[in-house]
C-alpha cells in the first residue's frame, strides 16, 4: 500500500513539473497576457526595437515581468520563423480586434504579436492604424529575408564584396607608398627650415622636437585616413549579407559612441588639463632655472659663502625631487580620475609597495648625500673602505664604485660606507703631503744613530719622496730582542704609493746590506756572555756623522 501511494505522489509531482515547464515555455514564446487594466505597467518600461537582419521594423514596450528586449526578440523570432516556412504567404496575415484595447496580428490561429494602445501612443497613431503598419512591415521583412538568401543575390553580393576588398587593398597599398614619399619630402623640408626655438639664451624647443611633433601629426593624419577607409569598407561590405547587416548598421554607432563619450569627457576636462599644462610648463622652467643656478655654483661663476662647489650638483639632485613632489601634490586634485576609488586604490597599493621595498634604497640615498656633504671622498681619490682599497671611479646616489689595485671593479652600497671606517689617502696628499711609513727591527748592538742614518739614506735614494718636508725617524718599540725603527717620508700623490713603498723597501735592503747591518735579530733563549751594547766610539759609525760640536772639540 505504501509503494502505491509513493508512486502516485511521484506521478503527481512529475505532471506538475511538466505543466510548469510548459507554462514557462509558452510564456517565453508568446505575447504577455496583459490585461486591459495592466497597460499602465507598459508605460513605466523602456521600448525596444524589433530587428530582422539588422533592419528596424518598429518598436514595442515591455513590462517589469516581460522586458521590452525580450518581447522584441520573441516577435523577431516569430517573423523569421514565418520567413523560413515555405507554406507561408503575406496574405495569411490578419488583424484580430475582438478583444478591447488590443489588436492581435495573427497567422491562422497563431498570434505573431499584440499591438496595445500604449504602443500606438508611442508612435503617435491609433491602435488600428499601427496594426496595419505592423502587418505591412512584417510582410516586407519576410519578403526581404527570403530575397537576401536567394543564391543569385548572394552570388551578386559576394562579387561586389570581392571587388570592394580588392579596391580597398589596392587603395591602402597606393596610399602607403604615397604617404612614405610625402613623409620623406616633408622631413627633408623640415630639416632645412626648422631650427631651435630660444628666448634670451634659454633653450625652449629643439629642432628635433619640433620635427618629431610635425612628423607625428602627419602620421596621425595617415592613421585617421586608414581608419576612415576601413570603416567605409566594412560598412559597405557587411550590409551586403543578411548575417552581417546588423553589425554593419551598428558599426557607425560602435565607432562614434566611444568617440562621443571621449569628446564629451575631454570637453569637461579641458579646464583641468589647461591647469595641468600650465603647471607642467612652470615646473619645467623652474627646474631649468634651478639647474642653471647650481651649475653656475659648480663652475664657480656664482659663489655662495660656505658652500663648497662639489656640493652644487648633488644639492640640485636633492632639490629636484622635492620640487617635482610639490608640483605633483598641487596637480593631484586636477588629474582626471583622481577622485575615483580605483585611482585611490592603485595609489595606495603603489605607496605600500614602495614603502615596503624601498627602505634599503632610501637608506643608501641618505647615506650618499651624507657622504657628499661630509666630504668623505670624491671621484679620483684613493681610499680604503673596509677591506677594499682602490680609486673612486663613480659616486652615485645609491652606491660607490671602486677600482682596486688589482684592476677589480667593486660596488659598495653607500649605507655600508657610512657604517665603515674610510681612509682617504688623497685628501691631504696635494697640500700637506701623504706620509709613507715602514718599520724595521734592528738589534741592540747596532748604534741607533747609524740605523737612523741608513734609513734616511734609503729614503733619499727613493724617487717620488719629497725632500721638504724632510723624512724623519721614530723609534716605535724597545722590544725583547730588537729596537723597532719607523721611517716616515712625504709624497705628493697617493696614486703611486705602492710603487713608492716597493722602491723604499728595496733601498732599505740595499743600504743595510752595504753597511753589514742585520735587519732582524734572531730570537734566542739565553743571554750572551758579553752585553750587546754599542761602544761610544761606534756611535757615529758610517754613514752617520757626529754633531758639529763634537767634531770641533
Q: Which distant-in-sequence residues (6+ apart) come within 8 Å of 317 by Cβ?
A: 397
Strand order in the sheet with 382-385: 409-413, 399-404, 388-395, 382-385, 422-424
pLDDT at 38 over 50: no
Q: Which distant-in-sequence residues (6+ apart) come within 8 Å of 422 by Cβ?
A: 376, 377, 383, 384, 385
Please give the DSSP secondary-structure letter assigned to residue 333.
G
Please give the DSSP secondary-structure letter assigned to residue 260.
H
- CA 116, CA 122: separation in Å to the nearest integer? 10
**How many Cβ atoms sit within 10 Å of the Cβ of residue 128?**
13
Query: Which of the two residues, 103 and 438, has the higher pLDDT score?
Result: 438
Q: Span 318-340, mean pLDDT? A: 81
- CA 445, CA 165: separation in Å to the nearest integer? 111
Query: Which of the two residues, 430 and 42, has the higher pLDDT score?
Result: 430
Query: Which of the two residues, 401 and 1, has the higher pLDDT score?
Result: 401
Q: What pLDDT score was predicted for residue 462?
A: 94
Q: What pLDDT score was predicted for residue 472?
A: 94
- CA 542, CA 539: separation in Å to the nearest integer? 9
- CA 476, CA 461: separation in Å to the nearest integer? 23
- CA 389, CA 412: separation in Å to the nearest integer? 12
Q: In the chain, count of helices (H) and strands (E)?
A: 15, 15
pLDDT at 156 over 70: yes
| 3-class secondary structure, 515 | coil
Three-class secondary structure assignment of 58-127: EEEECCCCCCHHHHHHHHHHHHHHHHHCCCCCHHHEEEECCCCCEEEEEECCEEEEEEEHHHHHHHCCCH
* HSE, side-chain direction, 13 A CA sphere, residue 360: 4
Q: What pLDDT score was predicted for residue 507?
A: 92
In this structure, are residues 283 and 323 in contact, taking their beta carbons and an 8 Å threshold?
Answer: yes
Q: Span 128-134, mean pLDDT? A: 85
- CA 82, CA 84: separation in Å to the nearest integer? 5
**How many Cβ atoms sit within 10 Å of the Cβ of residue 368?**
23
Q: What pLDDT score was predicted for residue 205?
A: 57
Please give the DSSP secondary-structure letter assigned to residue 522.
P
- What H or E segment, with its residue span, contains residue 57? strand 55-61
pTM of the model: 0.42
For the stretch 268-302, pLDDT in tens is 878 888 888 899 999 989 988 888 888 887 777 77
pLDDT band, residue 14 (cuts 50/70/90): very low
Q: Which distant-in-sequence residues (6+ apart) come within 8 Å of 100 by Cβ?
A: 36
| 3-class secondary structure, 39 | helix
In this structure, are residues 385 and 422 in contact, taking their beta carbons and an 8 Å threshold?
Answer: yes
Query: Which of the two residues, 57 and 8, has the higher pLDDT score?
Result: 57
| 3-class secondary structure, 473 | strand
Three-class secondary structure assignment of 338-380: CCCHHHHHHHHHHHHHHHHHCHHHHHHHHHHHHHHHHCCCCCC
Query: Which of the two residues, 357 and 86, has the higher pLDDT score?
Result: 86
Q: Which of 125, 149, 153 is nearest to 137 (CA)?
A: 125
Specify burial of residue 422 (Cβ count, 10 A radius: 0-12, 13-18, 19+): middle
Please give the DSSP secondary-structure letter assigned to residue 470.
P
SS3 percent helix, strand, coil of the chain, rounded to 5, is: 60, 15, 25
> Which triple of cell numbers denotes residue 18?
511538466
Q: Which distant-in-sequence residues (6+ apart) come within 8 Å of 53 by Cβ?
A: 141, 144, 145, 148, 242, 243, 245, 246
Mean pLDDT of the chain: 77
Please give the DSSP secondary-structure letter assigned to residue 384.
E
pLDDT at 307 over 80: no
Rounded to an integer, what is the distance from CA 24 to the centroid of its chain?
55
- CA 135, CA 307: separation in Å to the nearest integer? 94
To the nearest 10°, report the CA torsion of 103, 108, 111, 115. -20
Phi then psi dihedrals of residue 204, to 5 deg: -95, -60
> Which triple of cell numbers denotes residue 70?
525580450
Q: What pLDDT score was predicted for residue 13?
A: 42
Ranking 39-48, 128-137, 319-328, 509-518 by mean pLDDT, the lowest is: 39-48
pLDDT band, residue 536 (cuts 50/70/90): confident
pLDDT band, residue 33 (cuts 50/70/90): very low
pLDDT band, residue 430 (cuts 50/70/90): confident
Cis peptide bond upstream of 469, omega within 30: yes
Amino acid at each position: 500500500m505504501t509503494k502505491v501511494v509513493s508512486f502516485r505522489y511521484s506521478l503527481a509531482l512529475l505532471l506538475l513539473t511538466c505543466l510548469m515547464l510548459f507554462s514557462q515555455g509558452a510564456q517565453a514564446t508568446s505575447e504577455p497576457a496583459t490585461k486591459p487594466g495592466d497597460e499602465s505597467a507598459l508605460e513605466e518600461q523602456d521600448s525596444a526595437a524589433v530587428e530582422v537582419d539588422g533592419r528596424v521594423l518598429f518598436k514595442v514596450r515591455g513590462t517589469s515581468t516581460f522586458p521590452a528586449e525580450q518581447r522584441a526578440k520573441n516577435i523577431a523570432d516569430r517573423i523569421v520563423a514565418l520567413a523560413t516556412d515555405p507554406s507561408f504567404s503575406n496574405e495569411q496575415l490578419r488583424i484580430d480586434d475582438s478583444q478591447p484595447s488590443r489588436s492581435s496580428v495573427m497567422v491562422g490561429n497563431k498570434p505573431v504579436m499584440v499591438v496595445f494602445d500604449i504602443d500606438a501612443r508611442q508612435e503617435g497613431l491609433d491602435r488600428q492604424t499601427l496594426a496595419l503598419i505592423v502587418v505591412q512591415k512584417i510582410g516586407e521583412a519576410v519578403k526581404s529575408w527570403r530575397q537576401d538568401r536567394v543564391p543569385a543575390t548572394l552570388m551578386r553580393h559576394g562579387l561586389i564584396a570581392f571587388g570592394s576588398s580588392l579596391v580597398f587593398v589596392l587603395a591602402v597599398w597606393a596610399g602607403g607608398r604615397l604617404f612614405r614619399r610625402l613623409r620623406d619630402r616633408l622631413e627633408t623640408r623640415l630639416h632645412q627650415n626648422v631650427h631651435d626655438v630660444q628666448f634670451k639664451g634659454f633653450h625652449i624647443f629643439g629642432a628635433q622636437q619640433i620635427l618629431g611633433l610635425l612628423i607625428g601629426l602627419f602620421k596621425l593624419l595617415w592613421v585617421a585616413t586608414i581608419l576612415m577607409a576601413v570603416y567605409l569598407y566594412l560598412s559597405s561590405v557587411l550590409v551586403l549579407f543578411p548575417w552581417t547587416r546588423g553589425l554593419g548598421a551598428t558599426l557607425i554607432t560602435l565607432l562614434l559612441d566611444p568617440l562621443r563619450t571621449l569628446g564629451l569627457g575631454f570637453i569637461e576636462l579641458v579646464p583641468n588639463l589647461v591647469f595641468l599644462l600650465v603647471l607642467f610648463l612652470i615646473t619645467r622652467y623652474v627646474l631649468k632655472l634651478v639647474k642653471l643656478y647650481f651649475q653656475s655654483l659648480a663652475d664657480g661663476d656664482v659663489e655662495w659663502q660656505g658652500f663648497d662647489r662639489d656640493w652644487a650638483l648633488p644639492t640640485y639632485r636633492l632639490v629636484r625631487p622635492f620640487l617635482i613632489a610639490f608640483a605633483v601634490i598641487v596637480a593631484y586634485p586636477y588629474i582626471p580620475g583622481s577622485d575615483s576609488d580605483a585611482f585611490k586604490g592603485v595609489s595606495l597599493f603603489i605607496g605600500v609597495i614602495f614603502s615596503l621595498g624601498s627602505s634599503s634604497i632610501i637608506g643608501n640615498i641618505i647615506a650618499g648625500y651624507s657622504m657628499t656633504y661630509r666630504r668623505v671622498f670624491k671621484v679620483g681619490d684613493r681610499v680604503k673602505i673596509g677591506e677594499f682599497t682602490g680609486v673612486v671611479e663613480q659616486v652615485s646616489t645609491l652606491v660607490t664604485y671602486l677600482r682596486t689595485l688589482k684592476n677589480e671593479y667593486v660596488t659598495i652600497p653607500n649605507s655600508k660606507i657610512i657604517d665603515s671606517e674610510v681612509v682617504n689617502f688623497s685628501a691631504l696628499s696635494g697640500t700637506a703631503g701623504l706620509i709613507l711609513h715602514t718599520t724595521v727591527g734592528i738589534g741592540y748592538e747596532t748604534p741607533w744613530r747609524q740605523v737612523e742614518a741608513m734609513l734616511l739614506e734609503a729614503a733619499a735614494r727613493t724617487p717620488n719622496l719629497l725632500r721638504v718636508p724632510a723624512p724623519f725617524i721614530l723609534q716605535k718599540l724597545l722590544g725583547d730582542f730588537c729596537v723597532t725603527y719607523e721611517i716616515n717620508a712625504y709624497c705628493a700623490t697617493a696614486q703611486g704609493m705602492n710603487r713608492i713603498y716597493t722602491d723604499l723597501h728595496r733601498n732599505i735592503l740595499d743600504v743595510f746590506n752595504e753597511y753589514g747591518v742585520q735587519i732582524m735579530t734572531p730570537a734566542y733563549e739565553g743571554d750572551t756572555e758579553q752585553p750587546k751594547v754599542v761602544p761610544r766610539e761606534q756611535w757615529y759609525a758610517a754613514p752617520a756623522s757626529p754633531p758639529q760640536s763634537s767634531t770641533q772639540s
